[in-house]
Amino acid sequence: MALGTLRTRKNFLFWRTISQLTFVNHIVTMTSPPYFEDKCNKIGAVVTRTGTESSRSPVVALLGWNSAQDKHLAKYSEIFEQKGFDTIRIPANPYNTFLRLNRVKEISLELLEILEEMNSNQNRPFILYAFSMGGFNVGHFITQAISIPGQRHFKSINIIGCIFDSCPHFPGWHSLKGVQSTILETIPNPLIKAAVWVGLGLVCPPVFLFSSELKQLIPDSISYPFGCPELFLFCSTDPLVPERDVWVFIEAHKKKGIKVFEKCWEVSGHVQHYRNYPEEYLSKVNTFTDYCMKQYFTSGISKL
């Protein structure tokens, strides 16, 4: 086990001990409802638990990139399982991400209901971990749902941090090649690939031009941040997400008083930073989650 992981685990055990002492009167036993597994299967979500169902351990929601395989997302889950966190991970569908935002919103709310059941009125801390625009879009609709007063899900879970790996970018005409490449990766037949390539070239431009929801996705995310600390992991050579788009997002949130951490590698690949720079990647993620947990427990103690 890496030294950084050992240190992080010690820090987490210390803060978890404090949380158990300070919040002991608020612990509620959580039992999984009979259809919990069905809800997870419906959207392809996989839940891992490191403790008992009555545990108040943190939960990390891993919002996967388009067509992500679970075996790859599971490697990120392991980072947090070693720290005693529970995780839930879900892949994204490229057709939904780029062409069917209404479906993305539906999936986001279904995932949010699962997170609420995992929370079970215990005020567990949650971290959203979004990969590429597939994960970013899901995270956007979750934070929007819990941020709007009067809505059903308003303040239903306590998000203490957001991690963005290889996102966000501003969708538009320049996104067409990336959309085509991402979707065609899921199609093995070369003849069908050619037909889909042409079809996307005809369908995507009107979507970019006329979809008000797509146009407002990034501006709304910039204008109405959730307010918790954020970590951005990206690179200068990403073929799908221009570095400048991420910096615009970062600077806008810094101006709004958001605590922002960032790491930009000069050479890496799209959603390949953990693979290419494992030690540095883990260090950034561990430092960020330690900071979020410390802020969470400090805030909880101050309210006693």
- Residues 161-216 have pLDDT tens digits of 999 999 997 765 555 566 556 655 666 777 776 766 566 555 555 555 545 666 66
Asked whether residue 75 is domain-assigned, the answer is yes
| For residue 278, pLDDT beyond 80 | yes
Residue 258 lies in a domain: yes
> Can you give the pLDDT at residue 51?
67
Q: What share of the chain is helix, strand, coil (3-state, %, to 5)?
A: 55, 15, 30
Other Cβ atoms less than 10 A from the Cβ of 189: the count is: 9
Report the pLDDT value the prediction gives residue 199, as an integer from 0 to 100: 61
Give domain status of residue 4, yes or no.
no
Read off the CATH number of the domain in which 87 is found: 3.40.50.1820
Does residue 282 carry a pLDDT above 70? yes
Q: Is residue 117 included in any domain, yes or no?
A: yes
Whole-angstrom CA distances from 192 to 24, 95, 144, 200 are 58, 15, 37, 12
- The total domain count for the chain is 1
Q: Which two tokens stand for residue 229?
A: 């600390």
Percent of the chain at pLDDT above 70? 72
Domain range for residue 48? Answer: 34-171+227-299
